[in-house]
Structure 1
């Protein structure tokens, strides 16, 4: 069943100024025919729309770049203008979290049936739920998305913000089973960013050890979560 046609609901709106118009063209419109909605929500008053999008054009660009786009459209109903925010993220749950922390109702931005792979197990499902809730606790440092049919995998490095932990750097590792149309997601904790990036590099060449468990500080009672608040500059390291 083909995905529904993507509709940004902007037929009666124009960008609030020339800068926004140019930015929207380069960020969204130029590749609109390659964007697929994985989830979307529109506020009852029509002032806001939230999208989780897959950008198929990334496949033909720089290897490893994130393929998920979170888009928040903000319409001025009286003036007939719009503004927008967007973020390019490696995992759908990260995009959902980004949108939730910008006002999208949590229960309204679930992935559309058959639009994306399903969680393969309860561990994956629980981790994704935490990702959606804790989007303001982590910064994105590094990611690599591999869309090789024989190895559909994504690795992500995050840094905990304001958390006193012996493992402040986290790795998320997603693997997709293309035949079963499912995915698994796992999390590991590292003391340094170099160790975290090295694990990702090792995974991409097939030499990674099992992910180490996340260790929280002894007095920490906050539930661990993993998704970026604000993307940060990526560290150097092998990407292939």
Structure 2
């Protein structure tokens, strides 16, 4: 994902709250240490809760393949003057939206800022993003890789169906950015095994992959989903 420069800065609204030292250190290490590098793509405040979809510009200098989107859920206790938080680095904004919705954010309250990222190129992209936002409990993420090479900006995600009987149990979701037209496309393919899915990902990153295989028809009727855990940092068997 490529994000235009923004003058907006994230405000976690914690100035009047206290917490034990361990919690503050945990929040600092996982979130606040890079506060000046976080660009708010979407946020919603419903006291005592705040929900953030953030683009992490510092991830460019991290491990190859690192996810660049950060979802943050803050909960404040004004009587005790303390707070708690959850956070998750995720590869796609739609997955961050899904993660936050499943933690109580209203579904329609996290619209992405259209001025910051490239818009969807077509209806197929918009439809898949809606499914990713809406059903974060159906699939778990096992792997992702983000490439910010200006000649081939791509994000690859492997999802596993929680239903062991699902056809095309493994999905590969691919976002590609057209930097000249300033648009992005999102597509998915279906695989029977995790090995097949990961091999396709590895081939895509080296320019050797064929077209994504179609999702098997019965699985298409069930809605695709988001993520529940943090991604891997680089493709299997190769370095970038």
- TM beyond 0.5: yes
Moved more, 1-10 or 100-109: 1-10
Structure 2 equivalent of residue 24 of structure 1: 27
Q: Root-mean-square deviation (CA), in Å?
A: 1.9
Structure 2 equivalent of residue 61 of structure 1: 62
Q: Does the alignment pair 1:223 with 2:222? A: yes
TM-score of the pair, normalised by structure 1: 0.92
Q: Report the Cα offset of residue 221 of structure 1.
A: 8.6
Structure scoring higher RCO (CA < 8 A, sep ≥ 6) equals 2
Structure 1 equivalent of residue 43 of structure 2: 40
Structure 2 equivalent of residue 79 of structure 1: 80
Q: How many residues align?
A: 235
Instruction: Report if aligned partners of 1:170, 1:226 keep a CA contact under 8 Å in 2.
Output: no
Q: Report the Cα offset of residue 3 of structure 1.
A: 3.8
Q: For residues 199 and 41 of structure 1, what CA distance do their matches in structure 2 show?
A: 37
Instruction: Report if aligned partners of 2:55, 2:70 keep a CA contact under 8 Å in 1.
Output: yes
| Structure 1 pair 221–4 and aligned structure 2 pair: CA distance change class (3 A) | closer
Question: Which secondary structure does the structure 2 equivalent of 1:111 belong to?
Answer: coil
TM-score of the pair, normalised by structure 2: 0.92
| Structure 1 pair 183–65 and aligned structure 2 pair: CA distance change class (3 A) | same
Q: For residues 87 and 7 of structure 1, what CA distance do their matches in structure 2 show?
A: 18
Q: For residues 36 and 55 of structure 1, what CA distance do their matches in structure 2 show?
A: 7
Q: Report the Cα offset of residue 179 of structure 1.
A: 2.3
Instruction: Report if aligned partners of 1:71, 1:85 keep a CA contact under 8 Å in 2.
Output: yes
Instruction: Report if aligned partners of 1:3, 1:115 keep a CA contact under 8 Å in 2.
Output: no
Instruction: Report if aligned partners of 1:39, 1:112 keep a CA contact under 8 Å in 2.
Output: yes
